[in-house]
A and B are shown apart, each in its own frame.
Chain A
Amino acid sequence: MRPSSLSSRLIVSSAAVSIVLLAITGFVLASLFSAALERNFDHRLRAVADGLLANLDVSADGTPSLSTALADTRFNLPLSGWYWQVTPLKDADGAGDLASASLLEQRLVPSAAALSTRQPDGVAAFGLIDENGVNLRAIEQVFTLPGSERRFSVLVAGNFDELSAEVSAFNRALVLSLLLLGLGLVLAILVQVRFGLRPLRSLENNLLAIRQGKAEQLKGAYPAEIEPVAAELNLLIQSNTEIIERARTQVGNLAHALKTPLSVLTNEAAGQASPLAAKVREQAELMRGQVNLYLDRARRAARAQGIGAVTEVKPVLEALARTLERINRDKGVSVRVSCDEGLKFRGEKQDLEEMVGNLLDNACKWADRQVDVSASLAPELAAAGRQFLRIEVEDDGPGLPPEKRAEALKRGRRLDETKPGSGLGLSIVSETAAMYSGTLSFDDAKNGGLKVSLVVLSAV
């Protein structure tokens, strides 16, 4: 997929947004879950602390003692990760302390920073690490025991690693489901983009059909967003056709407008012997050459912009053969056409007529009795999705030696000045063929004369 394509833009942007949103969701969910677990854990620790306080007595020397042992046996297992301790604060000079059996002889010492998290109700909650490296979560509260003026710090800690395992299990499940969700979203985006951009694809296909000459207008209904584009394209195609038509008409009119006065000049001068008449004749002849040259160019330039034209080859060949047989009636030349059915030239009918017409005209001038024109697909030349067709014109005349063949294509060159013609024929053919990525080549005909092969674009 090209980086600048519309669908890749849509897919990449949607995927990016989805991934960011999913990541945030995952983070929020994980935090909420662990926060809830912590709160729950804290509540349990608090319940233990409350139980402790309810059963705590203080002897006369200020040493605390527990009247009833706690029910939870984890507090008795050594280093179980579940601990409690009641320690007098600094001002309780000499007084002993009390701790769960699980702590053995150690005491937990919360850092000052941890204690500073104390909340308005006097409870501080924080994390700790015990001897075995187990993560603990602890709550601590300072209070004065009944029957004593001393202040004690009561700390209850629980094994937080047990909780961490639960949190990571949750997180794993969370990440897995979010990944699946993300994958599903990306697939959905792909489908969406494909479905959403389908009208563009059909627009593209229709345009291709027009370019290949299979259609003249964009057909079918388009979504509201593309409809105006399609309508504009249709108008553009239409106006393109009209411009070409107009240009062609104007060129035709110009031809008429210039050629008629030129005829008048030539003929008027032909009847007189004065030097002026000779000059007029000479200049009129030059003008005639220039007019032909530039009209021919203008015509082809007007045509080169045309799009989508397709011409059925056979009728053109047959009409030209018919016409050339009539033109060369006195000479008795017969023009034989062999053309595959349904063969189509990708281009303007007039261009095909000009090319084949000039080739046939040339062949008829040189032929003895017979001219053959054949057209067929040239599959061996097909490349990059473009098909070519080959039109061959053969005559039974004297032929053309290989060394003179390149010469024949030059504009204004006439190999035999005794034959009529302006010397523009073959160069017009080769220039027109070039417009259609085509070529013109010479070979010996099987019946002795010249074979001219014209290769041009075919419409499939």
Chain B
Amino acid sequence: MRLLVVEDDRDINRQLVTALQDAGYVVDSARDGEEGHHLGDTESYDAVVLDLGLPVLDGVSVLEKWRRAGKKMPVLILTARDRWSDKVAGFDAGADDYVAKPFHMEEVLARIRALVRRAAGHATSEISCGPLTLDTKAARVTVNGTAVKLTSLEFRLLDYLMHHKGKVISRGELVEHLYDQDFDRDSNTIEVFVGRLRKKLGVDVLHTIRGMGYCVTEPGNAA
């Protein structure tokens, strides 16, 4: 999952980026509205954490510009302005959630998880596919009730595919959402990780669609 953090305060920005990275997300960050808007406009993100009081271009304007341009990624507004008029303005501009400063990092993490899940159309924190269940809250994967131990990158790969269950995800998209921008896109790592995941899960849910990418579906439903 690739996230964007737009926050002008250096410390908060660093804390958010660190906490989100620790939670297994790939995180880009911007320190002003213009840079943030540009990143959100050109890159593909699974969720955005957006401050409202930003230099150069304020958060509400950034959000409005994204929505006008048809960008649909979930946006969490994180701001010190906690009046109802600010909330109304934020939601009317197209925000999906709102957290007021001073905030607890756990709350932001929980809200981001919920936003990503909701954007993918899942109502609960658990996503299942046949015998395979992924708990986004606890970052746990079970097959027929038995926990499977995955590395961070393996989990992130499965997490992304499970969130987009039934859809074919290209290798390029996976790279973009799992790695930092400077990752070598021609490398074969994804192939290797998919192979390892298949072995660890032991159930036939992770399919390779030749020439197109990968897809998670119920066993036996290979496209």
Real binding pair: yes
Interface residues of A (CB under 8 A from B): 252, 255-256, 258-264, 266-268, 270, 284, 288, 319-320, 322-323, 326-327, 329-330, 349-350, 353-354, 356-358
- The answer to whether B97 and A327 have CB atoms under 8 Å apart is yes
27 cross-chain CB contacts under 8 A: A252-B81, A256-B80, A256-B101, A260-B12, A260-B101, A262-B101, A263-B12, A263-B102, A264-B12, A264-B15, A268-B11, A268-B15, A288-B102, A319-B92, A323-B84, A323-B91, A323-B92, A326-B96, A327-B97, A330-B123, A349-B85, A350-B83, A350-B84, A353-B83, A354-B84, A356-B84, A357-B87
- The answer to whether A264 and B81 have CB atoms under 8 Å apart is no
Chain B 71-112, CB within 8 Å of chain A: the 1/0 string? 000000000111111011001100011101111110000000
A328 to chain B, nearest CB (A): 11
- The answer to whether B118 and A330 have CB atoms under 8 Å apart is yes
> Quick check: is B39 within 8 A (CB to CB) of the other chain?
no
> Quick check: is B24 within 8 A (CB to CB) of the other chain?
no
Q: Kindly name the residue among B11, B80, B82 whose own CB sees the greatest number of chain A CB atoms within 10 A.
A: B80
Complex: A173 Cα to B164 Cα, angstroms: 113
- The answer to whether B87 and A323 have CB atoms under 8 Å apart is yes
Complex: A327 Cα to B95 Cα, angstroms: 10
From known contacts A252-B81, A259-B102, A330-B114, infer whether A322 and B92 are also in contact, taking CB-CB under 8 Å: yes
Complex: A260 Cα to B8 Cα, angstroms: 10
- The answer to whether B83 and A354 have CB atoms under 8 Å apart is yes
From known contacts A260-B9, A326-B91, A357-B84, infer whether A270 and B104 are also in contact, taking CB-CB under 8 Å: yes
- The answer to whether B88 and A320 have CB atoms under 8 Å apart is yes
- The answer to whether A263 and B88 have CB atoms under 8 Å apart is no
Q: Kindly name the residue among B19, B53, B85, B103 whose own CB sees the greatest number of chain A CB atoms within 10 A.
A: B85
CB-defined contacts of B100 to chain A, threshold 8 Å: 259
- The answer to whether A264 and B11 have CB atoms under 8 Å apart is yes
- The answer to whether B118 and A267 have CB atoms under 8 Å apart is no
From known contacts A270-B104, A270-B105, A284-B102, infer whether A353 and B85 are also in contact, taking CB-CB under 8 Å: yes
CB-defined contacts of A259 to chain B, threshold 8 Å: 80, 100-102
Complex: A358 Cα to B97 Cα, angstroms: 17
CB-defined contacts of B84 to chain A, threshold 8 Å: 320, 323, 350, 353-354, 356-358
A277 to chain B, nearest CB (A): 14
Complex: A146 Cα to B213 Cα, angstroms: 166
Complex: A315 Cα to B73 Cα, angstroms: 28
Starting from the known contacts A255-B80, A267-B19, 19 additional A-B residue pairs (CB-CB under 8 Å) come to: A252-B81, A260-B12, A260-B80, A261-B11, A262-B102, A263-B103, A266-B104, A267-B12, A267-B104, A268-B15, A270-B104, A270-B105, A322-B92, A327-B91, A327-B98, A349-B85, A353-B84, A357-B84, A358-B84
Q: Nearest A residue to B79 by beta-carbon distance?
A: A256
B44 to chain A, nearest CB (A): 23
Chain B 107-133, CB within 8 Å of chain A: the 1/0 string? 000000010001000010000000000
Complex: A373 Cα to B81 Cα, angstroms: 25
Q: Nearest B residue to A264 by beta-carbon distance?
A: B11
The 7 lowest CB-CB distance pairs between A and B, nearest first, are A357-B84, A259-B80, A262-B102, A264-B11, A353-B84, A259-B101, A256-B80
Near A by CB (< 8 A), chain B positions 112-168 give: 114, 118, 123
**Main DSSP-derived SS at the A contact region:** helix
Q: Nearest B residue to A360 by beta-carbon distance?
A: B84
Q: Which of B88, B97, B98 contacts A319 (CB 8 A)?
A: B88
CB-defined contacts of A358 to chain B, threshold 8 Å: 84
CB-defined contacts of A256 to chain B, threshold 8 Å: 53, 80-81, 101
B214 to chain A, nearest CB (A): 29
Complex: A330 Cα to B74 Cα, angstroms: 14
Q: Nearest B residue to A420 by beta-carbon distance?
A: B107
CB-defined contacts of B11 to chain A, threshold 8 Å: 261, 264, 268
Complex: A340 Cα to B30 Cα, angstroms: 46
Complex: A264 Cα to B123 Cα, angstroms: 32
CB-defined contacts of B82 to chain A, threshold 8 Å: 255
- The answer to whether B15 and A267 have CB atoms under 8 Å apart is yes
A312 to chain B, nearest CB (A): 14
CB-defined contacts of A327 to chain B, threshold 8 Å: 87, 91, 97-98
From known contacts A260-B12, A260-B80, infer whether A266 and B102 are also in contact, taking CB-CB under 8 Å: yes
CB-defined contacts of B87 to chain A, threshold 8 Å: 323, 327, 357
A250 to chain B, nearest CB (A): 14
CB-defined contacts of A255 to chain B, threshold 8 Å: 80-82
Q: Nearest B residue to A260 by beta-carbon distance?
A: B9
Complex: A264 Cα to B8 Cα, angstroms: 12
- The answer to whether B9 and A264 have CB atoms under 8 Å apart is yes
Complex: A258 Cα to B12 Cα, angstroms: 13
Complex: A326 Cα to B111 Cα, angstroms: 13
Complex: A450 Cα to B77 Cα, angstroms: 31
Chain B 47-64, CB within 8 Å of chain A: the 1/0 string? 000000100000000000
Complex: A329 Cα to B121 Cα, angstroms: 13
Complex: A372 Cα to B92 Cα, angstroms: 21
Complex: A329 Cα to B118 Cα, angstroms: 10
Complex: A266 Cα to B118 Cα, angstroms: 28
Q: Nearest A residue to B10 by beta-carbon distance?
A: A264
Q: Nearest B residue to A288 by beta-carbon distance?
A: B102
Complex: A255 Cα to B86 Cα, angstroms: 13
CB-defined contacts of B83 to chain A, threshold 8 Å: 350, 353-354
A137 to chain B, nearest CB (A): 97
A270 to chain B, nearest CB (A): 6
B217 to chain A, nearest CB (A): 26
CB-defined contacts of B53 to chain A, threshold 8 Å: 256
Complex: A357 Cα to B91 Cα, angstroms: 14
Complex: A323 Cα to B92 Cα, angstroms: 8
A262 to chain B, nearest CB (A): 4
- The answer to whether A350 and B102 have CB atoms under 8 Å apart is no
Complex: A256 Cα to B118 Cα, angstroms: 30
Q: Kindly name the residue among B53, B87, B102, B104 whose own CB sees the greatest number of chain A CB atoms within 10 A.
A: B102
